[in-house]
Amino acid sequence: MTELNEALNRLEKGLQTTTTVANRLQPGLSRVEIDQRAASFSWTLPGDVYALYQWHNGLSGTAAKLNLAEKFLRLKGKWHGELAGRENEIHLLFEDRLVVAKFLPLAYALAGHRHLKLGRCLLDLLPIAILHDGNTTTYVMVRLEAEQPTLYCANGTNLPPMKVTEAFLSTQLQFTGLIHLVNLLTHCFQTAAQPSLVNQDSQKVRAIDCEINAAPFVQLLQQSRS
């Protein structure tokens, strides 16, 4: 078992602190299934992406919605890989703010890549996760390079694909390899808070699972934009 596989298994144990979320993780894909889904693309997926989707094919309650999502991704001027419904969310708590995280199944990630290319992005990037705090949407994207793929946590709020350039990404939070992001997320889950009420839009609401301490991750995002 590789170091990344071990890290992914530790993340799953962290997710089990929120039982509902752990139960919604989709079964992993075989290498053959991954190759079949990515067969129409000219690039080769990096090993980290194979490991991720062989582990689990994202977090999604209803796979039948994939076609609708792909159509949505193709709408001009949109840059979204949103999954419909709160069943696809993990709620993270940072101070008084609710951060919503969504892990994208491979079909959504590939649709997101196509959207970037249709919007004239010159880089090959695969969005694998989304975080949203009510104001800012952050896209976790893998650079499609076979060796040592870079991960970017990029501020995608009101950003058209053509503006996703080398210069822009150089200002965003980066990880060398998926394992570093996985280890950080695992730390967030291991320091999970108990279920509590969160103040959002001046109303008390209960998160769908539980609020997780996302401070380490959000602080890194803030530092990368200061």
Does the pLDDT of residue 125 top 90, yes or no? yes
pLDDT tier for residue 86 given thresholds of 50, 70 and 90: low
Question: Cα torsion for 89, 182, 80, 221, to the nearest 10°?
Answer: 100
CB atoms within 10 A of CB 79: 22
The letter for the amino acid at 180 is: H
CA atoms within 13 A on the CB side of 198: 24
At residue 61, the pLDDT reads 52
CA atoms within 13 A on the CB side of 163: 11
Task: Render pLDDT for 14-67 as a digit per residue (tens, 0 to 9).
Answer: 777 665 777 778 899 999 999 999 998 888 899 999 999 999 998 765 544 445
Asked whether 149 and 43 are in contact (CB, 8 A), the reply is no
Query: In terms of pLDDT, which residue wins out, 192 or 184?
Result: 184
Domains in the chain: ranges and CATH: 3-59+77-225 (3.40.1580.10)
Task: Render pLDDT for 197-224 as a digit per residue (tens, 0 to 9).
Answer: 344 443 333 333 444 555 666 666 666 5
